[in-house]
Structure 1
Amino acid sequence: MLRIAVGDHAAFRTLYDQQSPQLYGLALRLLRQPEIAADAVHDTFVEIWQRAARFDPERGSVGAWLGTLLRYRAIDIHRRTRREESGYERPEEVDRAPDPLDNLESSEQGRALRLCLDTLEPRYREVVVLAFLDGQSHAELAQTLATPLGTIKSWVRRALGALRSCLGS
């Protein structure tokens, strides 16, 4: 990753040759459409090229980091697709409700919750936001994040426990 961070095209090509088949398989499982999966892999490798210097080997392996980048890309695609499938709304009918996270800032409790959310590990924060603000069920979370259902339930339980502890202090 260090070589890629300094612009080494050969190192990037080697990484692509080694990792793209696995990432494509993951993307295909997550997105279930070959063209969209290929786009997600492409976008992920663009992000890798741009963010290689941010890779921290102490936080995990290269493969895990690449998988995480791809999962976030798939989540973005899934959200965008869900919005597009909901259909066109005439401008005067568009919901002008603020983002649920923005609503948290409007009260003291909300500000405290937002601060506590920011202290959670990224995967825990992600499941809380997807479950409670986007309304995804545990099964939908498992599918979106390509993670076993039991793991999702455990993450939600741990996240809620951490939020409870943070808010109680």
Structure 2
Amino acid sequence: MRLPWLRSVKPLEPLTHEDLIRLVALGDEAAFEELYDAVAPRVFGLVRRVVRDPSQSQEVAQEVFVDIWQQAARFDADRGRAMSWILVIAHRRAVDRVRASQASADRDLRQGIKEYKESYDDVADTVETAMESERVHKALKTLTDPQREAISLAYYGGYTHQEVAELLKIPVGTVKTRIRDGMIRLRDKLGVA
């Protein structure tokens, strides 16, 4: 026997990422699983591009999902899309991991230099590289915040202009202008022909 009212019921629409995050904020583990299944490949792909090392990328992706679980209540749909919010968390975590790895490598390098007597040429090369790196970092500080952010995402983060535009929620043309203007400023500051 069929009930007449059953014919008028529409099938449920699939939940959006925004809906899932709202449910995660309420502690809904099933919604978290569904969100994870939906976005994990993109999160891992982004992290992998920045971190490069597969095992560290897996760790960072896992940390991203812990952050999502813990910070879901902070998500504000009026400020942007859920996927953008998630990718910003992923990018920040990945950049933090790269910086931490670089700092660790720098510490190891400094310690290694103390413990191991290198030839004059090797020391000179190391110093020259460190000095050049410092010049670039100082030059980057002279850029405007929008220029520095766009250049960092594009050159250090490995993002395309389109991806930078999506992350920053600005037009691609604006991204290209910021990068071009920033690169001109860097070239002038560094005295590169």
Q: Note whether the superposition's TM-score is higher than 0.5.
A: yes
State TM-score, norm by structure 2: 0.52
1:6-85 equivalent positions in 2, closer than 5 A: 6-85=26-105
1:1-169 equivalent positions in 2, closer than 5 A: 1-88=21-108, 89=110, 124=146, 127=149, 138=151, 141-148=153-160, 151=175, 154=178
Q: Tell me if structure 2 keeps the 8 A contact 1:31–1:37.
A: yes
Q: Could you give the per-residue CA deviations for residues 67-111 of structure 1, whole angstroms, max 9, x where no partner exists?
A: 000000011001101111113456xx9xxxxxxxxxxxxxxxxxx
Residues in 1 aligned to 2:82 and 2:180: alpha-carbon distance in whole angstroms: 26
The amino acid across from 1:154 in the alignment is: R
Gapped runs of 5+ residues in structure 1? Answer: 94-116, 129-137, 159-169
State TM-score, norm by structure 1: 0.59
Q: Give the RMSD, CA atoms, in angstroms.
A: 2.9
Q: Tell me if structure 2 keeps the 8 A contact 1:127–1:156.
A: no
Runs of 4+ residues over 2 Å off in structure 1: 87-90, 124-128, 143-153, 155-158
Residues 11 and 27 of structure 1: CA distance in aligned 2, closer, same or farther (over 3 Å): same
Q: Identical aligned pairs, as a percentage?
A: 30
Select the structure of larger CA radius of gyration.
2
Q: Could you give the per-residue CA deviations for residues 104-159 of structure 1, whole angstroms, max 9, x where no partner exists?
A: xxxxxxxxxxxxx9xx7xxx39739xxxxxxxxx4x5424334336837616959x
SS of residue paired to 2:107: coil
Residues 156 and 61 of structure 1: CA distance in aligned 2, closer, same or farther (over 3 Å): farther
Aligned residues: 118
Gapped runs of 5+ residues in structure 2? Answer: 1-20, 115-143, 162-172, 183-193
Residues in 2 aligned to 1:153 and 1:76: alpha-carbon distance in whole angstroms: 27
